Amino acid sequence: MRGHSGIKINILNLQKKIPVGKLLLSKIRTVVRQTILSETVKESPEISVCLVDDKMMKRLNRKYFGKNTSTDVIAFNTGDIAVSTDTAAINSQVFKTTPPDELLLYVIHGTLHVLGYDDKTAGQRTVMENKSEKILKKIGRTNVDT
């Protein structure tokens, strides 16, 4: 789907943990678009977001990074982002948010990685966290289950 900004956003739902309705799909597109528009990019990127369970995330993490564990989000510089909805559901309880809000946070985080941000140091993590919170505040929390 191309918006006015020329950004193409594909979403593939391969999980059953978090119901994905029209409102959540719209919010995912919005956070990707807002994250990209918050940066200076030379061309309109194509971003693919794949919603997966922990089993699939563990396979991806093992295949591409040699880590035999699941994680919340994996992003590739090709514009592909994989997000674990299992982890979003668990962490929403830990951090007192909703699963959709956790999911959106991971999508923003993955999009920032695609744009070249890293989180290997405390300083880099802080920059990414601040940018993520700013974008979430701009679009508003989901306050919806789907």
Q: Give residue 104's pLDDT.
A: 94
What is the CATH classification number for the domain harbouring 50?
3.40.390.30
Whether 146 is in a domain gets the answer no
Whether 81 is in a domain gets the answer yes
State the Cα–Cα distance between residues 91 and 93, nearest whole angstrom: 5
Whether 110 is in a domain gets the answer yes
Whether 85 is in a domain gets the answer yes
Residue whose structure tokens are 């959106």: 104
Q: Tell me: the pLDDT tens digits for 36-95?
A: 988 887 777 899 999 999 999 999 999 999 999 999 999 998 999 999 999 999 999 999
Whether 66 is in a domain gets the answer yes
Q: Give residue 141's pLDDT.
A: 60
Whether 94 is in a domain gets the answer yes
pTM value is 0.90
State the Cα–Cα distance between residues 69 and 50, nearest whole angstrom: 18
Whether 18 is in a domain gets the answer yes
Report the 10 Å Cβ neighbour count for 54: 20
Count of the separate structural domains present in the chain: 1
Residue 100 belongs to domain spanning: 8-139
State the Cα–Cα distance between residues 33 and 5, nearest whole angstrom: 8
